[in-house]
Amino acid sequence: MNPPNAETASNLITLLASFMLVLQLLLAVQTMLVTNIRLFALQSLLLAGIAAVVGYAYGAWHVYVFAALTLIGKVFFLPWLLERLVRQIEIEQEVRPLVNMPASMLICGALTVLAYVVARPITSLERLGSNTLAVALALLLTSFFLMINRRKAITQVLALLTVENGVMLAAIALTTYGMPLVVELGIFFDVMVAVMVLGILVYRIRESFASMDTSKLNQLKG
């Protein structure tokens, strides 16, 4: 039997997930790197809030651990690290995405609609939040688009991080209590290490090519 506050928790999760999707669409059209980093931090804060709601509504203590790790790692530490990197390399704007901003918004809108179409047959599997799984799929699809569309290495790192946000949101939507704690910790620390390694790579790209454009790596071909 669901606890009496499950319906309220479900509605709150739906609201927070919707705001996560709005922030994802803003990431698709925003060119300032620092603003992108802060949008990601705000999106991660909403994810931590969703985890806290799940922990409170269902008494799942390990979800509180995930909420705390998300708050410390993806709301404070990683944004601080990436903003520091942006200041060091002195490149503040994504100048030439492959697809212009109006077209990017249209593509992201189409991917969001596709996510809702794909998720509709399996909404019966959702445990918390109406259409939360569709939002999670939309986050995944638009994150992959951002990886392809953006040239700057930092925005590609942010796209990778939003993929992880989408995966965690999907886990909450489908399993009520999130994934087992050991799996959550494994994914979290894998992402943290990957971002720190990518941060070093970004700095080396900047030193070698005076640019963060990842297409410059084609020059390394023999």
Q: What's the rounded mean pLDDT across residues 114-135?
A: 77
* Phi and psi torsions of 206, nearest 5°: -60, -40
Q: CA separation (Å) from 109 to 18, 29, 96, 125?
A: 14, 12, 21, 24
Single-letter amino acid code for the residue at 112: T
Lowest mean pLDDT among 64-73, 90-99, 116-125, 130-139: 90-99
The pTM of the full predicted model, rounded to 2 decimals, is 0.81
Q: Which residue has the higher pLDDT, 214 or 26?
A: 26
What 3-state class would DSSP assign to 36?
helix
* Phi and psi torsions of 32, nearest 5°: -75, 125
Lowest mean pLDDT among 58-62, 139-143, 155-159: 58-62
Cβ atoms 119, 137 nearer than 8 A: yes
**CA neighbours closer than 13 Å in the CB half-sphere of residue 62:** 11
- Residue-wise pLDDT for 143-177, tens only, equals 999 888 877 777 888 888 898 899 888 887 676 55
* Phi and psi torsions of 127, nearest 5°: -105, -30
Cβ atoms 128, 48 nearer than 8 A: no
pLDDT of 109: 92
Residue 214, both tokens = 């990842």
pLDDT of 1: 40
Task: Please say if the pLDDT value at position 19 is more than 90.
Answer: yes
